Structure formats: C-alpha cells, structure tokens
Structure 1
Amino acid sequence: MDDLLNQGLSLLVIVGSVYSLLGVLFLKIWLHQKNAKLPVERKKLKRVAAQTLSEQVNDKIVDVIGLIFLSALIVTMPFAIKGIAEVFASGELNYFLVILIALGLVYVARKLWVKSNLLIKLKLGRDAELAVASELIELQSHGYQVFHDIQADGFNIDHLVVGPNGIFAIETKGRYKRIKDDTNYKVKFEKNRLAFPSWFESKPLEQAQNQANWVNKWLQEATGFTTQVLPILCFPGWFVELKQRPEFPIVSHKQLVKTILSMRHISLSQEQQRAICYQVIQRSLHESKAM
C-alpha cells in the first residue's frame, strides 16, 4: 500500500511539474488576449500561394513535436516514478536535489514566458506584413512590380514597389489594439511623432526614412542611374489621422494602393524599371541576414 502511495505521489510530482510549465504558457496567452487584440483578422486577408499547405505543415510540425515529447515521457516516466518513490519511501529528502529541480523549473518557466512573448510579437509582425502584401496585389494590375522581404545589411525591407511613378519602400509596423482603448484605434501624426491612444512613438519614422535611403543608395550603385526612393510607413488595421503634413506617407494598409497610384514625384521609363527590378530580384535571392 505504501509503495502504491509513493508511486502515486511520484506521478503527481511529475505531472504537476509539466502542467505548471504549461500553466505559465497559457497564463501568458490569456493575459495577452485579455489586454490586446490583433489589428487585422488574418482570415479576412487574400489567400497567398501555398497557404493551405503552409497551415498543414505547421499543424504537422506541432504533431511531430508532440509525439517526440510523448515518446520521451513514456521512456523516462517509469524511471522517474521509481526514483521519486524511493525517495519518498526512504523518508529522507535530498534538499540539494529538490532545490536544483525547483531552480530548473523556475528557469524554464522564465524562458517560456520570454519566448512566448517573442512569439506573440512575431505573429503580430507576420500578420501585419501579410495584410500589406494582400493589399499590394492590386498594384500588379496597374503594371507595378511588388517585392517582399528584401534582405539588406542586417535588416530587411518589408515591401518594395516599383512602377512608372517611382520606387516605394514600405515599412510595415504591427501594433496591437489595447482593449482598454475601447474603439479609439486611431494613430495621429502630430508634433513630428506618432500618437497612439496610450503611447507615443517616433522611431518608426526614422526607420522608414533610413531604410528608404539605404535602398536608394544601393539601387544607384547597382543600376548606375539616379533614383529616388520614397518611404511609406504603414500601420495595418489602424485609422491614421494626420494633424500635420508628414515628409512621406503614413497610412493604413487599406490606403496603400490609392496612395501609391496618386504619387507623382518621379517618372521611370520601362528600361529603368526593368533594370531596377533585375537588381531587386537578384537581391531577393540572398539568404536572410536580418535579426
């Protein structure tokens, strides 16, 4: 009877440890969903190439990882139960081992919290860029060439559009809509900064301009003729209100196509467009180096 009780306690310790870590993950997700929501709904976006297959691949990856974890658990659990049961049976706890296990669980829980937070941010960025890419599809019917995720020197250009009226480097910024802001999901450009309902930002403005400058310098060196790249800063799912005139367009993803079609700052010949597109295509073949 004592052996059965000790084994039951051992199983409880193992299962409790696993579920405590899962609890950290679900707590992080619950807190995030309670306080914020995505600016765009991915299911409402235009579907992209291989989207169904990508979703199936992601599901299968989760299944494979789950099976690997389950197989490891099946192999190690009997030994773990036996070892812990013997500790309970002896009546003498190895406090050093207990502290070591506790510290290990705390370390893993902390890493899980940080990684899940990073995963949430990455998902936001991915969905924001997909929303922009979905809108830019329309430009192809107007004779524009659209490129995505162009690798630069330690960073990437989210979207690059080449057309008869210029070159446009689009910097996409995903920002969660905080529940506490209710329906006031508006970003204002005033006093040379971006005013969100609960916070202010200015770095995206500098980043968009710097990246456009990089593209401009690179294309001039690569093509041999003078180019002028216009930055565009895009906040998918947000209503953008301009309280002052910005140096370059700041828009929601729904305003992108109309904004680009209306620009008349330069004129590119077919030969120039082909030369630019050739260089962009070659650059697109580079492996990702952005961090």
Structure 2
Amino acid sequence: MNIEAISGAATVAVASTVLFLVIAKSWNALSRTVGSTPSFADSIMHEAAQRFRDELDRLSRSQAIYLSSALVFIVLFLAAYALRAQELFAGYPAWQLWLQVAFLALAAIFAGWRLGRTILARHEVKFMRDANIAIGHQLQQIAAGSSRVFHDVATSAGVVDHVVVGPRGIYGINVVARRARKRGSAFLQGNELTFSQRYGVVPLANIAASTARLEKEISRLLGCKVRVRSVIAAPGWDIGEQASENHLLVNERTISMMRGWRDSSDHLMNEDVQSLCDELTARCRRQS
C-alpha cells in the first residue's frame, strides 16, 4: 500500500469536501433566513403537523448535503489518487503519514456518525408527521360544518397539536406517535399513557400543562371560565382503558367518539366561537 499516495489523495479530497460542506451549509442557512416569509402570509395557516413538516424539510436538506459531501469526497479522492497527489507528501516520515491517515479516518467516522443520526432523526420525524397528518385529516371530517380545526397552536406552555372549536365545545388534541406493535394496545393510567407488552410509558404532564394553559388563555380572552377537553391520540394502537378524569384516549379510527365527550357547560355562544376563531387564526398564520 502506497501510504504517500493515500495521504495525498485523502488530504486533497478532505480539504475540498470541507470547503464544499461549508459553502452548502452557509447557503442552506442563508436560504432559510432571507426571503423565507411565504407569499400571501396573511392567508396561509398551519397545516396538520406543520412543525414536523418543517423539521423534516430541514433534515432532508441536511441529509442531502452530507450525502453530496460523501460523493464529492469519493470522486476527488479517486481523481487525486489517479493524478499522483502523493507528491504533496514526498519525503515526509512514515509516522506522520500514518498519523494523517488516522486523523482522516476519525473525520470519516465522525461524518458517518452525523449522517447516521440525521437519517435516523429524519425517519422518526417522518413518522411523527404522518401520525399528525392522519389525525388532522380525521378531525377535518369530524369538524365539517359549524366547527373549525386549528393545527400547531402555540401556548406559553407548549404547542397543542390540534384544536377543535365549535358551539359544542373546545377540544385540544395531542398526538403521541409511537410505532405500533402487533396486537399492541394503549391505555390511560392517571396522567400516564401506557403501552402494552412493555412498550413503554409516556408521561402526559407536558400535554396536560399545554392544554391547561390554552384553557387559561381562552378563558381570559372570552372573560369567562371555559373548559378545553384534552384528547390523546395514539395512531395505530388499539385502545384499552379509554377515559380518565382529565383525558380521552383515541386512535385514528375512534377519534370521532370525542364528539360525545361533552356536557351542557361546554357549549359556547356563537360570538364567543367567532372571537376564539379570530384569535387562533392569528396565532396559526404561517410566518415562515
């Protein structure tokens, strides 16, 4: 093995690849900040799973940059090796050349680790996006008529995935996206969502906090006490224990059952519904 040829070719390829990576990342960051506001922003609102769509786009761009960098490195390494780049290191001691190779190997391992993490994160975000879209589409069918659905509603305590507003009440729907196993079921235990067959427990404290904060903000807006009913959606899972004092558990097939989870105190005046829809419309306008 010609260590001088390998070191020379790898050095040329790494230097060029790093330059390519810096330019690509800089351009990517610039394109996100300059001119990122959509046209007709006042008329565009969040779609279902909007934040997951945005995150998936970001991860897809990063993945494309890393894969392109790997291709650039391979092409330039082969080209430099064929053009006898070993002359760059002619006369250097062998230990220095091996040290250079070790450094390049570590750099390659780090780059592969970053690429692997990006691919896995993209895979997970894609699943969460699909789960939220599935629930969002079902809600659109349920709410057809006098109710409206809002997506990715921000509160000071977090984001509520979906909010349904209508004369019969207000529902805050949060999606717990976890890959369903065969014959797997989910059930509520207090403020925890438990999956069968030791597939884990998801605390609902953050969901409860964001829903409670939304309820508080709506009550302040309308000037009276209003309840926001908390619905937990677990797409793909069979539902066991379905209801608790604070939450209703559904999947994408049973979500229509939430329409029956109400009482007369949940009803809203038409004026209150309109005021609330105006407020949520302002919150959910797409700014970037």
TM-score, scaled relative to structure 2: 0.68
The verdict on how the C-alpha distance between 1:177 and 1:139 changes in structure 2, with shifts beyond 3 A counting, is closer
Structure 1 gap segments, 5+ residues each = 19-47
Match of 1:280 in 2: 280
Deviates more, 1:152-161 or 1:269-278: 152-161
1:136 pairs with 2:135: no
Which stretches in structure 2 are left out of the alignment for 5+ residues? 18-46
Output the CA distance in 2 between the equivalents of 1:266 and 1:227: 7
Mapped to 2, the partners of 1:165 and 1:140 lie a distance apart of: 11
Once the two structures are superposed, what CA deviation does each residue of 1:71-112 show, in whole Å capped at 9, x if it has no partner?
Answer: 945984434654654479879461221121111112122222
Alignment of 1:220-231 (within 5 A): 220-231=219-230
Match of 2:178 in 1: 175
* TM-score, normalised by the number of residues in structure 1: 0.67
Q: Equivalents in 1 of 2:269, 2:120: separation in Å?
A: 46
The offset of 1:261, in angstroms, is 4.4
Relative to structure 1, the CA distance from residue 63 to residue 95 in structure 2 (aligned partners, 3 Å threshold; closer, same or farther) is closer
Look up the equivalent residue of 2:280 and give its one-letter code: V
Q: Distance in 2 between matches of 1:75 and 1:281?
A: 51
Q: Counterpart amino acid of 2:103?
A: L
Change beyond 3 A, Cα 1:108–1:165: same
Q: Name the CA shift for 1:96/1:81 in 2 (closer, same or farther; >3 Å).
A: farther
**3-state SS, counterpart of residue 151 of structure 1:** strand
Aligned partners of 1:130 and 1:145: how far apart in 2? 16
Q: Letter of the 1:269 partner, please give it.
A: M
CA 1:208–1:62 in structure 2 vs 1: closer, same or farther (change >3 Å)? closer
Structure 1 residue 152 corresponds to structure 2 residue 151: no
Identity, % of aligned pairs? 21
| Paired AA for residue 279 in structure 2 | Q
CA deviation vs aligned residue, 1:150-193 (integer Å, no higher than 9, x gap): 12336321000001121111110110124xxxx22211334664
Question: CA shift at 1:238, angstroms?
Answer: 0.8
CA drift of 1:147 comes to 0.5
1:215/1:229 contact within 8 Å kept = yes
Greater Cα offset, 115-124 or 239-248:
239-248
Which letter maps to 2:193? L
Q: How far apart in 1 are the matches of 2:73 and 2:106?
A: 21
What secondary structure does 1:230 align onto? strand
Is 1:121 the equivalent of 2:124?
Answer: yes
